[in-house]
């Protein structure tokens, strides 16, 4: 067990032009290969932001694997000091997400991020940014598409279609549950796409989102009690 140690990659910019320049500089450092084989702890991170001027709340939920029992939950509140600009959300959200991750005393072996990885115009979404800052394996699992195009995936759980931008595969539109819209899975850092798809599916328990992200979403929205009660109920079903 150790506290999170961050790489010093840059100062937090205030201008979009500076943020774009940082993305272009960091993008080549993203590792698009690697596999997570036998994780002990898997985390999900999400952030809830209300109206402009309201305090935002970031949450990290760490689950044991394979039990998927909650072993740690942390919350951090603060202002989002960078404007909302599609493609630059990591500069808006990362400082608060980093603040909540710094509270952990458990080191996850894998982090799922509610956002894009390399499925991003400059191949540098929130999952990539956090992966580089932490030097940990990360997966982007977004509810909507930022760039690229794909054919419709099959309707059965586990079906996916490649997400393509130009001549490059940047992710997958993955059906995590029959009859629901796909999620968009992409490499964050230190993992390949095949392994990223595997873990998103492996961590789903009948919902559209994998459990670490689903519970982090509940936690960020203030439904910690609900999140814990759901996990307790699922644990009883597995007994």
User: Does residue 66 have a cis bond before it (omega within 30 degrees)?
Assistant: yes
Domains of the chain: 32-238 (3.30.2170.10)
Rounded to 10 degrees, the C-alpha dihedral 96/102/103/106 comes to: 130
What share of the chain has pLDDT > 70, as a percent? 90
60: tokens are 């990290």
3-state helix, strand, coil in the chain (%, to 5): 30, 25, 45
Q: What is the pLDDT of residues 129-156, one digit of tens each?
A: 999 999 999 999 999 999 999 999 999 9
What is the DSSP track for 20-86?
Answer: HHHHHHHGGG--------S-SEEEEEEEE--STTSPEEEEEEEEETTT--EEEEEEEEE---S---T
pLDDT of 50 over the 70 cut = no
pLDDT mean over 104-108: 92
pTM: 0.91
Between these two residues, 224 and 179, which has the higher pLDDT value? 179
Among 50, 73, 41, 46, smallest CA distance to 58 is for: 46
How would residue 53 be classed by pLDDT, with cut points 50, 70 and 90?
low
d(CA 189, CA 140): 9
pLDDT mean over 62-75: 96
How would residue 5 be classed by pLDDT, with cut points 50, 70 and 90?
confident
């Amino acid at each position: 067990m150790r506290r999170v140690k961050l790489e010093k990659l840059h100062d937090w910019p205030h201008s979009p032009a500076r943020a774009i320049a940082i993305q272009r500089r960091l993008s080549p450092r993203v590792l698009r290969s690697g596999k997570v084989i036998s994780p002990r702890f898997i985390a999900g991170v999400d952030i809830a932001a209300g109206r402009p001027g309201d305090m935002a709340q970031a949450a990290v939920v760490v689950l044991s694997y394979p039990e998927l029992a909650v072993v740690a939950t942390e919350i951090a509140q603060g202002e989002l000091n960078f404007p909302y600009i599609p493609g630059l959300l990591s500069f808006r959200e990362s400082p608060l997400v980093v603040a909540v991750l710094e509270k952990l005393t458990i080191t996850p072996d894998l982090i799922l991020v509610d956002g894009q990885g390399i499925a991003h115009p400059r191949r540098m979404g929130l999952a990539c940014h956090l992966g580089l800052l932490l030097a940990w394996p990360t997966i982007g699992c977004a509810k909507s598409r930022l760039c690229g195009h794909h054919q419709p995936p099959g309707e059965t759980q586990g079906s996916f279609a490649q997400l393509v931008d130009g001549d490059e595969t940047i992710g997958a539109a993955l059906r995590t549950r029959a009859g629901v819209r796909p999620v968009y899975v992409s490499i964050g850092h230190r993992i390949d796409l095949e392994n990223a798809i595997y873990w998103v599916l492996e961590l789903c328990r009948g919902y559209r989102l994998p459990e670490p992200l689903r519970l982090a979403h509940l936690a960020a929205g203030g439904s910690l009690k609900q999140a814990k009660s759901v996990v307790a109920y699922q644990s009883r079903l597995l007994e």
